[in-house]
Structure 1
Amino acid sequence: MAEHVKVVHGDEVSQGWLSKVGLGRVRGFVTTTTTFIFFFFLVVIAALIWMDVVSPFRFTSPSSKIHREKIHHERIQFPLNCSCFVNYMTDFEPEESSAETCPDYFRWIHQDLKPWKASGITRDLVERGIPMADFRLVIVNGNVYVERYRPSFQTRDLFTLWGILQLLKLYPGKVPDLELLFYCGDNTVVMKRDYEGHRATSPPPVFHYCGEKAALDIIFPDWSFWGWAEVNIKPWEETLRAIKEGAERIKWENREPYAYWKGAPTSADRGDLLNCNVSDKHDWRVRVYKQDWGKEIGEGFKHSNLEDQCTHRYKIYAEGRTWSVSEKYIMACDSMTIMIQPEYYDFFSRSLMPMRHFWPIGRRNKCRHLKFAVEWGNNHTHQAQAIGKAGSKFMEEMLTMRNVYDYMFHLLNEYSKLLKFKPTIPPNAQRICSETTEQGLAKEFMLQSMVKSPSDKLPCTLPPPYESRAIQVSLNAKEKITKLVETWETE
């Protein structure tokens, strides 16, 4: 998959000059020079010890083995083209005391893996999921292998695997051996109805980007956190930074007092939005723009920069075929997000609360609901602005790349505990590395999102699972708030 670059340690010194001088003079010179260097070396070491910046490699007794200690102010950098040698950093140990508690949405990891908690996961169970999967991922001794079954849409599989490789670089030697199946499409594939009833069997574990109430897909962070080359969306950290800068250009109160949406009408909900645009007969306080990606690609993405779309007080989130990666970009703008009731969720959105992080509206009568939300916001500017800022703060603070990697780490770690077989490398699998032969934006985004050194602290501490009652209480609360908003509109 990639070319390896040989790394040469140390300097090569030419010895040809010995033939041009007398051997005795050379010996005398070497003796004098060696003595000088020896005493100079002692002075330097003494100074380094006094300054407390001595090398992290020190000798310990009585074993006389080299022991590596972590130096907080010196991060060990990975060579750019040696990432396939993951195991050479497995002795890097951050301090135990550095771990923090993970955000609350990490609790859903336990819930997503609950179908296999009692029985465990056998090899036969994994094999039954192959017809649903795009590829099989195997991690053995810190090395990553992939067996592909069918092409995924665009470069979703490529960037998903890239993210997993970066996880192994961030926490070298910490990700356990495992074997899993992954699906990169839109629709959920493991449906509950197929594994219920008197002839029910255990469902196959298949990883995917989104879930729904009727499905059992295991939710994993989507590819766009490392970039979406086909539509010129940079890796999440870079995109978030740009959106925050874009949001600061226009103060909330000076933005257009309308609800904004721009995208491809790939679903009924999005198609309905086009009917809510301003016309000679109606002004639903909505400004909707249809995205022509073919035109954008041809013109170099001049009119699709996400950081230029923070110009309205309100932004609309509408699902595409299923869930949409646009959710995090929309909510990062500081504008109040008006969310059309979603059917699907990703790994973090289950912890978003209506009227705290977004304004909820129903799927029917969208135009009327949108108009009421905008008019309410324009009459309650402080409350509307607070909702927008809370949603943006969640994206900025709870959805850091550190948390994305920690979610991946804990999900894979908890999943591996359920395996009742030893992961092995399939005959048709290929080993993949962080060196990339991609070109253009794909290569650029990979370099931008590359983990350049191991973590200086442990992953956050995984919180315990939700109790069943707590989940139901949360769902009831969301439903109650949504109905309350509908009551305001009716009254």
Structure 2
Amino acid sequence: MKMREQGVMRGSGGPNKHFAEKIWVPLLAKNTLAPRSSLAVFILILLCIGAFFSTRLLDSSSITSLSVNSPKKSIFTALTSRNHPRPPENPKIPEKPQENQRTQIEIPLNCSLGDTILTCPANYYPSKFSIENPDPPSTPQPTCPEYFRWIHEDLWPWRETGITKGMVRMASKTANFRLVILNGKAYVETYQKSFQTRDTFTLWGILQLLRRYPGQVPDLDLMFDCIDWPVIKKDFYLGPNAKVPPPLFRYCGDNTTLDIVFPDWSFWGWPEINIKPWEDLSKDLKEGNKRSKWVEREPYAYWKGNPAVAKTRMDMLKCNVSDKQDWNARVYGQDWIREHQQGYKQSDLASQCNHRFKIYIEGSAWSVSEKYILACNSVTLLVKPQYYDFFTRSLMPLQHYWPIRDDDKCRSIKYAVDWGNSNEKKAKAIGKAASNFVHEELKMDYVYDYMFHLLSGYAKLLKYKPTIPPKAVELCSESMACPALGLEKKFMMESTVKGPSSKTPCIMPPPFDPATLHSIIERKEKSIKQVEAWEKQYWDRKSKNV
């Protein structure tokens, strides 16, 4: 028995040598056996030989089956794992096979009637889709990011009353369009054209949601306003005798309004200024981050944009470097007319991640530029905002950004940059946390899931069965993309959802309890006050040294 154990343990010459020693130990030890057991040993040897060949045949058929029905595996990996539980001393770790791998069903746009198609192909895209091989129960379904919890807050005003058809009609006063979804199809009544293609790409995004989750988006009826500023004033709907506010969707909100916040059009592209769909642009920004390490970047705060749209931006121009003062800011105005004429050579966002600090400042309201700035690995210097969009309420000062005073921008920027350059490790961590947040928690998968959960929650509040408005027209991806031209068509094609998702939406997190919501607000306020106190100490010391 000792010889058998020694023979097995010495088998370090690879899988085949190990296998041979394990099988043929009885032959090597036959002289130590009593003569009366020779027949038994001979029979045992025959059985071992038979088992060896039958096992080899079984393995061969199993490997052939795997190559047809499973993801590719190394044959040696399959044999080793089956016959040799003890790996070699320095094993080469094989690539882990992808379990439960599903083939993505792709259904291209049907522009077979040419670029003039204005109607939707009948029965072309499936109205429902079910996953044939769902993940096993042991595979946990991912929970949605934290900012999804704000959906509960945005729908809170209608939690008790629900939403009536009269409430929806009241929201039409400022709406650009009315959207009805029935049985997975979209119908749109346009009231007024939006600025540029905001309405076009917002509707395009909703159509892609229907392609991603066919038959899963419930019937609904909503009004959408594409203007920047929220208009449903909270004060008008307070008190015991107050009316219920009209539900109105838009891109941003603030603490004084009740507008329902929805992902903005730029996630599917902004053709007027050549900004790609977010899925492709986020990849470009990741590559841009690799061009220079944080410590190798320019040690200043960078901003480039259109200052004419807001007084606060015009005010920030005073913070630019001059012969008399350097506030550590490098601020540039963007002339979009000239940029268009020159082929957008100076507005490539992925080429603007070369400063340690980047400034975010609102325009006429919130700005779509925030996600591009946060994605750069730079420290985002966030000038005190008034507005929020669907994801920014979960950003925390000193974790994802550095807060900048709105009433004293230049001195605030100067201190922030000096602090960051003196605390490189901490500053770098803030920039990295923001970039990770944007690239991981703001992926298009989550953008679509946010839309899905928001619209599903809204639909549950409706107190009536939606119907197609008399002036509405059916809208589908083909009726929008096939006749489109130029960058509109290009961005639509690039952002088209290829087919039904093989995954279900992420799990919606629960609403905030009052204590948690209060602690989040309090944490933000404390962090901002802490920075303001540091700033004051900094400038007090400066004034004493003058």
Q: Which residue of 1 aligns with 2:396?
A: 353
SS state at 1:221 partner: coil
Percent pairwise identity: 55
Task: Confirm or deny: 8 A CA contact 1:341 1:362 kept in the other structure.
Answer: yes
SS state at 1:262 partner: strand
- Could you tell me how far apart the structure 1 residues matched to 2:168 and 2:269 are? 29
SS state at 1:138 partner: strand
1:287 pairs with 2:330 = yes
Write the letter of the residue equivalent to 2:128: T
1:448 pairs with 2:465 = no
Task: Confirm or deny: 8 A CA contact 1:86 1:143 kept in the other structure.
Answer: no
1:81 pairs with 2:118 = no
- Could you tell me how far apart the structure 2 residues matched to 1:363 and 1:264 are? 18
TM-score (norm 1): 0.85
Q: Which residue of 1 aligns with 2:442?
A: 399
Task: Report matched runs for 1:26-37 at 5 Å.
Answer: none
Deviations 1:298-342 (A, max 9, x none): 111111110111111000000001110000000100000000011
Q: Which residue of 1 aligns with 2:355?
A: 312
1:221 pairs with 2:263 = yes
- Where does the alignment leave 5 or more consecutive residues of structure 1 unmatched? 1-46, 54-70
Q: Which residue of 2 aligns with 1:42?
A: none
- Could you tell me how far apart the structure 2 residues matched to 1:303 and 1:175 are? 41
SS state at 1:212 partner: coil
Task: Report matched runs for 1:236-247 at 5 Å.
Answer: 236-247=278-289
Task: Confirm or deny: 8 A CA contact 1:169 1:451 kept in the other structure.
Answer: yes
Q: Which residue of 2 aligns with 1:250?
A: 292
Write the letter of the residue equivalent to 1:456: S
SS state at 1:354 partner: coil
Task: Report matched runs for 1:31-46 at 5 Å.
Answer: none
- Could you tell me how far apart the structure 2 residues matched to 1:472 and 1:282 are? 41
Give the superposed CA RMSD: 1.8
Deviations 1:97-150 (A, max 9, x none): 563110111000010000001000000111111102110000001110000111
Structure-2 change in CA distance of 1:136 and 1:89 (3 Å): closer
Q: 1:51 aligns with which of 68, 91, 98?
A: 68
Q: CA deviation at 1:272?
A: 1.3
Write the letter of the residue equivalent to 2:495: S
Q: CA deviation at 1:442?
A: 0.7
Q: CA deviation at 1:87?
A: 5.5
- Could you tell me how far apart the structure 1 residues matched to 2:468 and 2:214 are? 20
Q: Which residue of 2 aligns with 1:3?
A: none
Q: 1:340 aligns with which of 360, 367, 383?
A: 383
1:123 pairs with 2:165 = yes
Q: CA deviation at 1:463?
A: 0.7
Q: CA deviation at 1:88?
A: 2.1
Write the letter of the residue equivalent to 1:186: D
- Could you tell me how far apart the structure 2 residues matched to 1:372 and 1:285 are? 9
- Could you tell me how far apart the structure 1 residues matched to 2:286 and 2:456 are? 33
Task: Report matched runs for 1:97-136 at 5 Å.
Answer: 97=137, 99-136=141-178
Q: 1:413 aligns with which of 456, 469, 472?
A: 456
Write the letter of the residue equivalent to 2:386: E
Runs ≥4 residues deviating over 4 A: 47-50
Q: Which residue of 2 aligns with 1:262?
A: 304
Task: Confirm or deny: 8 A CA contact 1:205 1:217 kept in the other structure.
Answer: yes
- Could you tell me how far apart the structure 2 residues matched to 1:86 and 1:79 are? 10
Q: CA deviation at 1:362?
A: 1.3
Q: CA deviation at 1:206?
A: 0.4
Task: Confirm or deny: 8 A CA contact 2:107 2:125 kept in the other structure.
Answer: no
Q: Which residue of 2 aligns with 1:159?
A: 201
- Could you tell me how far apart the structure 2 residues matched to 1:178 and 1:198 are? 29
- Could you tell me how far apart the structure 2 residues matched to 1:198 and 1:278 are? 54
Q: CA deviation at 1:441?
A: 0.5
User: Which sits farther off after the overlay, 189-198 or 403-412?
Assistant: 189-198
Deviations 1:330-364 (A, max 9, x none): 01000000000111000000000000000011111
Write the letter of the residue equivalent to 2:514: S
- Could you tell me how far apart the structure 1 residues matched to 2:312 and 2:217 are? 40
Q: Which residue of 1 aligns with 2:192?
A: 150
- Could you tell me how far apart the structure 2 residues matched to 1:295 and 1:467 are? 51
Q: CA deviation at 1:72?
A: 3.6
SS state at 2:221 partner: strand
SS state at 1:128 partner: helix
Q: CA deviation at 1:253?
A: 0.7
Write the letter of the residue equivalent to 2:152: H
- Could you tell me how far apart the structure 1 residues matched to 2:356 and 2:410 are? 17
Structure-2 change in CA distance of 1:86 and 1:458 (3 Å): farther
Q: CA deviation at 1:208?
A: 0.6
Task: Confirm or deny: 8 A CA contact 1:162 1:434 kept in the other structure.
Answer: yes
Q: Which residue of 2 aligns with 1:327?
A: 370
SS state at 1:346 partner: coil
- Could you tell me how far apart the structure 1 residues matched to 2:213 and 2:281 are? 24
1:484 pairs with 2:533 = no
Q: CA deviation at 1:50?
A: 9.2
Structure-2 change in CA distance of 1:176 and 1:361 (3 Å): same
Q: CA deviation at 1:293?
A: 0.7
Deviations 1:191-220 (A, max 9, x none): 112222454100000011001000000010
- Could you tell me how far apart the structure 2 residues matched to 1:188 and 1:137 are? 19
SS state at 1:368 partner: helix
1:181 pairs with 2:210 = no
Task: Confirm or deny: 8 A CA contact 1:87 1:142 kept in the other structure.
Answer: no
TM-score (norm 2): 0.76
Task: Confirm or deny: 8 A CA contact 1:86 1:168 kept in the other structure.
Answer: no
SS state at 1:394 partner: helix
1:195 pairs with 2:195 = no
Deviations 1:195-247 (A, max 9, x none): 22454100000011001000000010000000000000000011111111112
Task: Confirm or deny: 8 A CA contact 1:186 1:321 kept in the other structure.
Answer: yes
Q: CA deviation at 1:91?
A: 3.5
SS state at 2:319 partner: coil
1:93 pairs with 2:131 = yes
- Could you tell me how far apart the structure 2 residues matched to 1:93 and 1:182 are? 32
- Could you tell me how far apart the structure 2 residues matched to 1:234 and 1:216 are? 30
- Could you tell me how far apart the structure 1 residues matched to 2:414 and 2:68 are? 66
Q: CA deviation at 1:269?
A: 1.7
- Could you tell me how far apart the structure 2 residues matched to 1:50 and 1:152 are? 54
